[in-house]
Amino acid sequence: MKIIIATACLMLGLSACAVAPEDRQALADVSEFTLADLRAAEASATAHGDTIAATCWAALIDAKAAIGDTAATDIKGAFSGIQAVRNARRRVQSGLSDEVKIGCGPLALDAVASYSRLARLLKSGL
């Protein structure tokens, strides 16, 4: 009897972990917004001759395409949800790709230099 109750509780608990279709759609919408935002940033940087930023945005677009959106679309229930979380964690733990580091490194250095100049200006009283 205890085994049956434990199994029933486990089944109910796992079914509660399932991702509803509207939640999957919300995840896909956020993912698409991010891609649209990156594309808009790349277009703006290109139009304004900002090759440092345009290179970074292009690298991030390529990285996003390589990762894909499987976490948002392949979740059918508890077990695939757990695996999607594990997949995302492993991608994050593996670090940034060399393409992103090379593409965004100059933008990061440019941002640090800009903040440093701003701090010096503020310290000197403008």
With vertex at residue 86, the alpha carbon angle to CA 81 and CA 90, rounded to the nearest 5 degrees, is: 150
Answer whether residue 23 shows pLDDT above 60.
no
pTM of the predicted model over 0.85: no
Distance (Å, rounded) from C-alpha 30 to C-alpha 39? Answer: 14
Answer whether residue 42 shows pLDDT above 90.
yes
Q: pLDDT, tens digit, for every residue of 67-107?
A: 665 545 577 778 887 887 787 777 767 777 888 889 999 99
Q: pLDDT, tens digit, for every residue of 105-115?
A: 999 999 999 98
